[in-house]
Structure 1
Amino acid sequence: MTSLSKMVPEGGPIAWMARNSIAANLLMLLLLGGGIWSAFAIQKEVFPQFQLDIVEVAVGYPGAAPEEVEQGILRPIEEAVRGVEGIREVTSEAREGRGEVLIELVGGEDRMKVLQDVDQAVSRIRTFPDQIEQPEVRLQSRQQEVMQVAIYGPIDVWALRKLAEQLRDQLQSKEQITQVELRRVPAYLHFRRTDAIVKLI
């Protein structure tokens, strides 16, 4: 009968573990223990946390068509921020009664400094139409959704909405919850659905 020492080559890690079974078992226990610890200690998130390096400039222009928004709002903003350092790309969108400019920053730039520079550049614009609303300059933020609670049942749709609002008020009273939103609830003017979603943030 051929012994194990003859079957395993003399050199290499496998041969060393075959001759030192205690060390091999300790290594196995160490790896198993590290895996179990990592399973409990690793951070678990629906979406990983990250920072958005985008400055958003939003301006309301009540009653204006998209073409008027583009000419009166978007183009002046694009020209004003063109000289700001740290900008990678500028994207504009004109809609009826509102215009938005998304300014993507170069990676590693001081976000707050660029935000301040963009805000100052927009405030120096003197060609805006008189009917516009106050421009809003802010860093895009991302809210982290924690969970959703669905309320449903064979009852009147307005009773479901009332229950959802009561649950929302109860959840908002908790210090650990920063924001609660109602989704898929019927409007008071009309209704289409028979369930409600409460979103926790």
Structure 2
Amino acid sequence: MRIVDLSIRRPVAVAMAFLAVVVFGVVSFSRLPLDLLPDVSFPTLTVQTQYPGVGPQEIENLVSRPIEEAVSVVQGVRQVTSRSRPGRSDVTLTFRWGTDMDFAGLDVRERLDLLNLPPAATRPTIARYDPNAEPVLRFALTPARPLDPNIPADRRELVALRHLAEEQVRRGLEGVEGVAGVRVTGGLVEEIHVEVDQARLAGLGIPFQQVVGRLEAENINLAGGILEEAGAEYVVRTVNEFVELDEIQNVIVGTANGQPVLLRDVG
């Protein structure tokens, strides 16, 4: 009752106090910081490891499981999940909110350096989820009718749609003021599949890895440095990437009985 009695005896003072609270509230509200896209750091880390040519089961046993066992004892880890795919392992660590992710990343790296992974596997890399890297807007290009990628004619249309997105749509959006980056996903990327007759290779005594190595060595552009002459500089390059299908078929993959063996001979 003292507050009520005081309010009755001093109405002017109570009114001034109430007005002061309102004024301070309005001023504080007007000065609150606003951010359309606030910087939010999620306490997650992803350990990515490449192991080319290995199936999901082997990835799980040889890569994902050892990494899980090594990083699960890191301080602050709340959950560990993994995803094993052909040739790749992704292990995701979820930490408690408030964990210093810089120190957590260093701790995870120390644990990974103690692992004995298969020699053919790449060194594990640690990636942090950045919400700022997520797209703000998404545009979808759809064909006029449903397309089946197993049909050659439809496959060509899907490849053309991807080419349209990369060469025209992306370049047009990148020129818009305020756009930091444009990423194209989906569709079909034009590829050339080389099918090799294993029996014919074995008969000629040519290892399969030798065929792969020859294709990699032939399909490459190399920089040769800069040549200076008469005050002018010339960029020296070795341009050797495949342009025509015949160039791939005519690659020499080995020799048999002193004669060169072309890719077309074993494909």
* CA–CA separation in structure 2 for the residues paired with 1:65 and 1:39: 58
Q: Which amino acid aligns with 1:165?
A: E
Partner of 1:94: 84
Cα drift, residue 119 of structure 1: 0.9
Instruction: For structure 1, list consecutive stretches of 5 or more residues without a partner in the other structure.
Output: 1-10, 151-155, 173-179, 190-201
Q: Normalising by the residue count of structure 1, what TM-score does the alignment of the two structures yield? A: 0.61
Distance in 2, Cα, partners of 1:145 & 1:20: 58
SS at match of 1:182: coil
Q: Distance in 1 between the 2:53 and 2:105 partners?
A: 29
Corresponding residue for residue 172 of structure 2:
163
Question: Match of 2:116?
Answer: 126
CA contact (8 A) 1:56 1:138 kept: yes
What's 1:199 paired with? none
8 Å CA contact retained: 2:170, 2:184: no
CA distances 1:40-79 after superposition (whole Å, capped 9, x unpaired): 2122345654443333211123344322321221012122
2:48 is matched by which residue type in structure 1? A
Q: What residue identity is the alignment partner of 1:26?
A: M
The one-letter amino acid of 2:94's match is E
What is the CA-CA distance between 1:136 and the residue it aligns to? 0.7
CA distance in 1, matches of 2:170, 2:66: 44
**1:56 maps to 2:46:** yes
Q: Identical aligned pairs, as a percentage?
A: 24
In structure 2, the gaps of 5 or more residues are 140-163, 190-267
CA RMSD of aligned residues (A): 3.8
Q: Which amino acid aligns with 1:112?
A: D
Query: Which structure would you say has the larger Rg?
Result: 2
SS in 2 for 1:134: coil
Structure 1 residues 111 and 184, CA gap change in structure 2 (3 angstroms): closer
Corresponding letter in the other structure for 1:21: P
* CA shift in 2, pair 1:138/1:144, >3 Å: closer
Q: Which amino acid aligns with 1:181?
A: G
TM-score by length of 2: 0.48
Is 1:136 aligned with 2:125?
yes
Question: How far 1:115 sits from its partner (Å)?
Answer: 1.9
Q: C-alpha distance in 1, partners of 2:8/2:135?
A: 49
Q: Match for 1:163: what amino acid?
A: G
Q: Is the 8 A contact 1:57 1:102 kept in 2?
A: yes
Are the structure 2 counterparts of residues 19 and 37 from structure 1 closer, same or farther at C-alpha, using a change threshold of 3 Å? same
Query: Does 1 or 2 have the higher relative contact order (CA < 8 Å, sep 6+)?
Result: 1
Question: 1:104 is matched with which residue?
Answer: 94
1:23 aligns with 2:32: no
Name which of structure 1's ranges 47-56 and 88-97 shifts more when overlaid on structure 2. 47-56
Q: Which amino acid aligns with 1:114?
A: A
Q: Contact 1:72/1:129 (CA < 8 Å) preserved in 2?
A: no
Aligned residues: 165
- Superposition pairs of residues 179-190 of structure 1, within 5 angstroms: 180-182=180-182
What letter matches 2:20 in structure 1? L
1:67 and 2:57 aligned: yes
